[in-house]
Structure 1
Amino acid sequence: MPPDRKQAPSSPPPIFDEHTAVMVDERVTLVNIAFRMLGCAHEAEDVVQEAFARWFALSDEARREIRSPAAWLVRVTCRICLDQLGSARARRERYVGDWLPEPLPDDSRWASTGRNRAGDPAERATLDDSVSMGVLVMLESVTPAERVAFILHDVFDLPHTEIAGIVGRTAESSRQLAASARRHLRSDRRRAVTAHQHRGIVSAFKNACEQGDLDTLISLLDPQVIVRADGGGKATAARRAILGAGKTARYFLGLLRNRFAQELTEENVNGCPGLVSHVGGEVNGTVAFAVRGGLITQIWVIVNPDKLHAWKEPGL
């Protein structure tokens, strides 16, 4: 009898075609776009997953007819984000306390892939600032279409001719949408300090908190400083904004004093100097700052554990 021959296992049908392989390489960019639009990492991941699902739902013939899978996927991702942004306001009205964008540690995954272009620098936001808490909070105040046009053009360098098809407007209208969002950003960044000055003020704030120095703490704060805290109903946090230097200073002194064995470290939060709170070796909160004219004008405290996964599981 002839020797037994092992039958080679049949190869599974290919999952990726040539265009799909190129598209998968764009995944990091897609997640970055979605995060800047939604302000939430897991929602951004879900959006990109849905966009991929729609790609694979196409027939082989339909996929072959798409000249640029990457551009197709950007359009689909942005349209899903637009749908989510349209319903976000209603969802956030049910949110317990203030809703704030998710804080991010320093991580190359969140670096924008936009390229510096020649032209008027006033037309572009600083790319390094595109995930800062100040920019993300500002983007909450513009319309979804303005947010999409601004992010795609100013951060990711897409031309308005392409953005127009995503937002359902003309190229000129898309240009106006981005300009409107840009005006909001400019007004928010007046009297901004350098990164070195920002870090020095955050360091002084931390030291004053640790030493219980009320007078020094007040001296670092703008008289009209605003504090917003996000606990999401899952961690103790102020449910209304805290206004004024005196109230803010007393709030932070009490917050630090009431946290057993709390340690504050100076770390970048969304690319800007901030503070991270640790209890028992685990991150339990982040503090981000806006500094204008040498004084702290806004403070964002995030203690909702659902928004701190990136700090507890770095690199995931």
Structure 2
Amino acid sequence: MTTKKKDTGALLHEERDTAATGTPWRDEVTFEANSLLLRRYLSKRLKNDHECDDYIQEVWARVLALDAEKRSQIRDWRGFLTRVASNILIDSFRRKNARNSDRHVGLDDHLYLIDDNAFDPERIALSRARVADVEGSLARLDTRESEALVQARVHGLSHADIGKKLGLTSKQVSHLIERALVKISRDLARSDDPSW
């Protein structure tokens, strides 16, 4: 006895007839008849076919998790399966957004960016001393110079916005910031060179 494999078109028609008559679910027929439908539906919404296969498997896993009674109540398998696929896509999108997975950088890809001396105690001590020097230099600045520099460099305000706060023009704010940077540079140069 030879069994003839039905073509996809025949399976689709059989599935439509099955849905219309309400005959019970048959795994092979339903799976083969609707896998192409799911692939088309998902491939329009996904970047690559590898993801598509994963989503199709997830759809079938959810369908097979239903008990036989619930499966027998489904009259429109196409609509049901596309709705399940849509829900899975939405869940995946929400998960990716919550985890910021599009911004994820794999550790292995960027190991070369890690400085081996980053946690060297001597380097940490020097960095802390440098920060203390900058803080001391900021403290020695004129109040307006300090305020303008902090507003521009720390808070990111424009020179016009700083000018409004301090009652100055944008050009005056620019001069204040330039003067402050020159003073800080000189202070830091002195702290680096003990002969000063």
Higher helix content, 1 or 2: 2
Structure-2-length-normalised TM-score: 0.37
Structure-1-length-normalised TM-score: 0.24
Higher strand content, 1 or 2: 1
